[in-house]
Chains A and B, each alone.
Chain A
Amino acid sequence: MPSTDTLFNQRIDSRRRRGKVMAGVLFVCTILGLVVLATLIVDVVLTGAPWLSREFITGFPRSTAEASGIWPAIIGSLYLMLVVAAVAVPLGVGAALYLEEYARDNWLARLIQININNLAGVPSVVYGILGLGVFVYLFGFGNSLLAAGLTLSLLVLPIIVISSQEAIRSIPQGVRESAYALGATRSQVIWSHVLPIAMPGILTGVILSLSRAVGETAPLVLVGAALAINFTPAHLLDEFTAIPMLIFQWTEEPGVAFRELAAAAIIVLLAFLILTNLTAILLRNYLEQERSA
């Protein structure tokens, strides 16, 4: 019998070396991405920070950069987010629950699933065109907060459905089985176990999609969001503007001042996103604690 030492040509040194090279390459990839991102953020902050002031936050867009503020856009973005949260979250979570807990695994369910997966990859301009055709003209909502909110809701709906489905799917089958075995109905199982256990995962998807909705520009341009208005929207069918719209407009204006103002608006948008995420993360942690208590 040959000794095992001769049976294996282990090449241990070259294998080790390869491992080290691999780790190095991956590290460089990580650093490259981070460096580019950090550069962008630092650049924006350095450019925009001097413009941040109370007047900027609470003011309205004007013809000069010095007099301009971002208030209507902050309110517009906030309202947009609320519309999306009110429309897309229940629809998305409901669809996910239906697909995971009720639908039989037939061709219809599979067709729906394939469509949802593909919709998640459709460019946002396409949703903008859809929103313009359906919500603005067909339903007659005009260039309103409602039309834009519904368009953004459609845009993020697939993300919410898919992430909720994943959260629901990851619940151990044993939890459902033991609930059914106690004489629970399907809706009792869903309300008492499936939803609470899936909630942190669902919230993660919701955070992602709300952030995505707040940062989108193209669909807003298409459904005709206003660029600069000097009032905050009073109702759902009112005209509105949003932070990305102002950034978009100010970068187009002649002169350095407006471009610096756009940087300031980007800082506000980033802060807005961080706040949203923070709220959701706190909520998620709270729910997780509730659950294990």
Chain B
Amino acid sequence: MADAKADPQRKPSSSEASSPQTSSPAASNSTASGTGNAPTRKAVPEAPRTLTPGPRQGPQPKTKIEVKDLQFWYGDTHAIKGVTMNIPAHQVTAFIGPSGCGKSTVLRCLNRMNELIPDTRMEGTIRVDEQDIYADEADPVMVRRRIGMVFQKPNPFPKTIYKNITWGAKINGYQGDYEALVEESLRKAALWEEVKDRLHTSAYNLSGGQQQRLCIARALAVKPDILLMDEPASALDPIATAKLEETIVELKQDYTIVIVTHNMQQATRVSDRTAFFYVGELVEMGDTEMLFTRPSDEKTDAYISGRFG
């Protein structure tokens, strides 16, 4: 496996130091084929400890989201044809690929947004923190609170900045201090300084980039631990984009982030890992640097060198 070799180079995530033996390289680095995760993981409880005493190899980041054999249909359109992937905690994972290849569809399966679209069907399993989010007892409403989403077009509610942030908390029965929540969320989204004096004015008066960061703040206010973003910068100018990217990189300390982007520079700037999709399949997934410098699949190579898409 190409990306298994890349593992030692990856910066260890400080917050994950306690779980060196829970994930083998295979567990956190499944490729499109996703071969044999489970057996490998069980077979090596002792091995890493004896083989790698120092921090050089480092602990593997914990797997946050585990997608297995995901298939998805819009009516008769078979949009996703078997995707298996593991998304590590506290990292930014980028989904790239030509338009229409299913990036958004996979992303929206991760927080059960797709089931709001009539006449669709999904197969396969998605586990978040080892819990099946499509299990009978899993409530989509609870799933979506834990897994926030930011959309392509900034879409604040036609309300004040303040109410944009508090609404999600309120409907979820938030018991804490709302003023503090608003400030905290806006600070995390790097918007506080710009709007603190006009919290009670319409969110529509903000610029596009500010609106998008407000949408991030709004998503953060319900205290998710995963943030899904579907081309969040595609409607923004370069300066707003740069600011947004900064924000994303900041956020990964506290959140697991999955970002769909059609902009490959953006993927290299913000992401730790990248997944390349092509016509409904996951072609390759690995460390961003590896994937862009030494892709193991020729389709990936063709795409990143601009030969199609």
Q: Which residues of A contact B (CB under 8 A)?
A: 104-105, 172, 174-175, 177-185, 188, 192-193, 197, 291-293
Contacts and interface: CB of A to CB of B under 8 A. Distances in A.
Interface stretch (B63-71, B145-153, B246-254): B145-153
Contacts of B182: none
27 contacts: A104-B118, A174-B151, A174-B155, A175-B158, A177-B113, A178-B157, A181-B113, A181-B148, A181-B149, A182-B168, A182-B171, A182-B219, A182-B222, A183-B141, A183-B142, A183-B145, A183-B146, A183-B168, A183-B171, A183-B172, A185-B141, A185-B171, A188-B171, A193-B157, A292-B204, A293-B201, A293-B202
B111 interface: yes
Nearest to B149: A181
Nearest to A192: B167
A174 B155 CA distance: 6
B151 A105 contact: no
Contact of B160 (A174, A197, A293): A293
Contact of A182 (B145, B201, B204): B145
Contacts of B142: 183
A291 B158 contact: yes
A178 B160 CA distance: 16
B44 to A, nearest CB: 38
A93 B142 CA distance: 29
B157 A180 contact: no
Nearest to A183: B145
Given A188-B171, A292-B158, A181 B111 contact: yes
B144 interface: yes
Contacts of A180: 113, 116, 144
Contacts of B141: 183-185
B215 interface: yes
Contacts of A104: 118
A293 B151 CA distance: 23
Contacts of A174: 151, 153, 155
Contacts of A184: 141, 168, 171
Contacts of A175: 155, 157-158
Nearest to A182: B168
A104 B115 CA distance: 13
Contacts of A292: 158, 202, 204
B218 interface: yes
Given A174-B151, A181-B151, 15 more contacts: A175-B158, A178-B218, A179-B167, A180-B113, A180-B116, A180-B144, A181-B149, A182-B167, A182-B218, A182-B219, A182-B222, A183-B222, A197-B158, A292-B158, A292-B204
A274 to B, nearest CB: 30
Contacts of A291: 158-159
Contacts of B118: 104-105
B175 to A, nearest CB: 15
Interface of B: 111, 113, 116, 118-119, 141-142, 144-146, 148-149, 151, 153, 155, 157-160, 167-168, 171-172, 201-202, 204, 215, 218-219, 222
Contact of A178 (B146, B155, B172, B201): B155
A106 to B, nearest CB: 9
Contact of A192 (B171, B172, B219, B222): B171
A177 B149 CA distance: 9
Contacts of B158: 175, 197, 291-292
Nearest to A174: B155
A112 B168 CA distance: 34
A133 to B, nearest CB: 39
A172 B160 contact: no
A180 B147 CA distance: 11
A19 B172 CA distance: 59
A291 to B, nearest CB: 5
A178 B202 contact: no
A284 B50 CA distance: 73
Nearest to B168: A182
Nearest to B222: A182
Nearest to B152: A174
B197 to A, nearest CB: 16
Interface centre among A172, A175, A181, A188 (most CB of B within 10 A): A181
A292 B222 CA distance: 23
Which of A172, A182, A188, A197 has most chain B Cβ within 10 Å? Answer: A182
Q: Which of B142, B168, B218: most chain A CB closer than 10 A? A: B168
Nearest to A171: B158
B171 to A, nearest CB: 5
Contacts of A183: 141-142, 144-146, 168, 171-172, 222
Given A105-B118, A183-B145, A193-B157, A178 B151 contact: yes
A291 B158 CA distance: 6
A42 B89 CA distance: 76
Contacts of A192: 167, 171
A105 B222 CA distance: 32
Given A182-B144, A183-B145, A177 B168 contact: no
A212 to B, nearest CB: 30
